[in-house]
């Protein structure tokens, strides 16, 4: 199994209500993707609750293979969700790793 983890830092000058709306919209878009992208085994978006950390959003997902990760990343509905949040993102970090337990 491949764990795909992406973290986002949003612009700091976004007012709190707009920030929350952007984050919730992204979460809803991403978490609805399994209906359209069958290779997603699990996907979740969480919001940082620790103000001492710089990342605002963490996306965690699970796939059978790296090919499935690529299929997901190239899917038009994933692209739409990514494009919608992109103007507000200042930093993005991603890691894909194979779970040794599988």
Contact residues for 11 (Cβ-Cβ < 8 A; gap 6+): 88, 89, 90
Distance (Å, rounded) from C-alpha 45 to C-alpha 60? 6
Tokens at residue 102, please? 């599988």
User: What is the model's pLDDT at position 50?
Assistant: 96
Distance (Å, rounded) from C-alpha 99 to C-alpha 84? 30
| Total of domains in the chain | 1
User: What is the model's pLDDT at position 102?
Assistant: 52
User: What is the model's pLDDT at position 75?
Assistant: 98
User: What is the model's pLDDT at position 40?
Assistant: 98
Bin 8: left if φ > 0, else alpha if -120 < ψ < 50, else beta.
beta
User: What is the model's pLDDT at position 63?
Assistant: 98
User: What is the model's pLDDT at position 49?
Assistant: 96
Distance (Å, rounded) from C-alpha 102 to C-alpha 10? 34
Q: What is the CATH number of the domain that holds 75?
A: 3.30.70.100
Q: What are phi and psi of 6, to 5 degrees?
A: -130, 135
Residue corresponding to tokens 């969480």: 46
Q: Is the overall model pTM greater than 0.95, yes or no?
A: no
Please identify every stretch of the chain with a pLDDT value under 50, giving residue numbers as ranges: none
Give the domain extent around 34: 2-98
Q: Render pLDDT for 18-33 as a digit per residue (tens, 0 to 9).
A: 999 999 999 999 999 9
User: What is the model's pLDDT at position 100?
Assistant: 77
């Amino acid at each position: 199994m491949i764990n795909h983890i992406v973290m986002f830092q949003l612009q700091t000058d976004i007012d709190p209500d707009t920030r929350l709306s952007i984050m919730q919209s992204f979460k809803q878009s991403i978490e609805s993707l399994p209906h359209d992208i069958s290779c997603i085994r699990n996907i979740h978006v969480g919001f940082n609750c620790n103000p001492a950390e710089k990342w605002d959003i963490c996306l965690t997902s699970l796939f059978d293979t790296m090919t499935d990760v690529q299929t997901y990343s190239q899917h038009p509905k994933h692209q739409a969700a990514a494009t919608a949040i992109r103007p507000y993102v200042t930093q993005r970090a991603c890691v894909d790793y194979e779970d040794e337990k599988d």
